[in-house]
Copies of this chain bind each other. A is one copy, B any other.
Amino acid sequence: MQETSRRHTAKGKSIGFVPTMGALHDGHLSLIRRSKDENDIVVASVFVNPMQFGPNEDFDRYPRDIEGDREKLEKSGADVLFIPEAKMIYPQGFATRVHVDALSERLCGAFRPGHFSGVATVVCKLLNIARPTRAYFGQKDFQQTVVIRRMAEDLNIGVDIVVCPTVREPGGLAMSSRNAYLGAEERKAAGAINGALQAAASVLRSASGTVPEAVSAMKSVLDKEQLISEIQYAGVYDPLTLSEAADEGKEKLIAVAVKIGRTRLIDNILI
């Protein structure tokens, strides 16, 4: 992969890179298409990264569909598909961790210790392997984009990190490979997540709306949904630091993480 990229770069070609964990949906494919618009060569990777899963998380049952992925990537215009094996990414003796302080500990990080070290480490590796001009990530995983952008800048990787809008189902549910875990009733219940984000947004867009009012509007939408078994966080944050937003700040991140049955779902909007 490194040689392939070097060859393209030596010819002056730009490379757009879309790292994924596979089980591709229209959100991923929107990244491929954006990358195709902006670069000469589009490289996609499929790697379900064990380092970013906790011991009690869904690594084993995470959906895998390499044949389906390959077909979708080809149709969407990807030029290169990189599918490393775990023992290639983490060979015997592997001992290095890339950690982004503070940003990794907040929001999802508080519920998934080590998760963002796993993300930062594997993305650092994949960027060094694929050596792209630009790399594309979905806004659905907002905290991930903040951590990766910080890591890539801090380590002088020399890549543009491009964040693309979340792609949603007709009912507003953010596309996620984990939606495959949901039964029909659960999928309906998951609509409350985007409902909660919209409720908070409409409070904040009103002239007198405050952050605490927005948060309670969110929570009341989520509380009404019986199938939501846990609200991990639901709040309004500073999109740069991920700390709680003050009323006076300009751009705000409204973000939520809940569990529906065993399935953990996240979503966010920026306003």
Contact = CB atoms under 8 A, between A and B. Distances in A.
A96 B95 CA distance: 17
Tell me how many chains of this kind the complex includes.
2
Contacts of A125: 154-156
A157 interface: yes
A13 interface: no
Contacts of A156: 2, 125, 128-129
Contact of A95 (B10, B97, B103): B103
Contact of A98 (B10, B96, B103, B128): B96
Contacts of A103: 95
A231 interface: no
A102 B95 contact: yes
Interface in A72-111: 93-103
A214 to B, nearest CB: 27
Sort chain A's interface into a size bin.
Answer: 20 to 34
A128 B102 contact: no
A154 B101 contact: no
Interface of A: 2, 10, 93-103, 120-121, 124-125, 128-129, 150-151, 154-158
A182 to B, nearest CB: 35
A102 to B, nearest CB: 6
16 contacts: A93-B150, A95-B150, A96-B99, A96-B100, A96-B120, A96-B151, A97-B98, A97-B99, A97-B101, A121-B155, A125-B154, A125-B155, A128-B156, A128-B157, A128-B158, A129-B156
B158 A96 contact: no
A95 B121 CA distance: 14
Given A93-B150, A96-B100, A128-B157, 12 more contacts: A2-B156, A95-B100, A95-B101, A96-B98, A96-B101, A96-B120, A97-B101, A98-B155, A125-B154, A125-B156, A128-B155, A128-B156
A94 B103 CA distance: 11
Nearest to A150: B95
Contacts of A102: 95
Contacts of A99: 96-99
Contacts of A154: 94-96, 125
Contacts of A128: 155-158
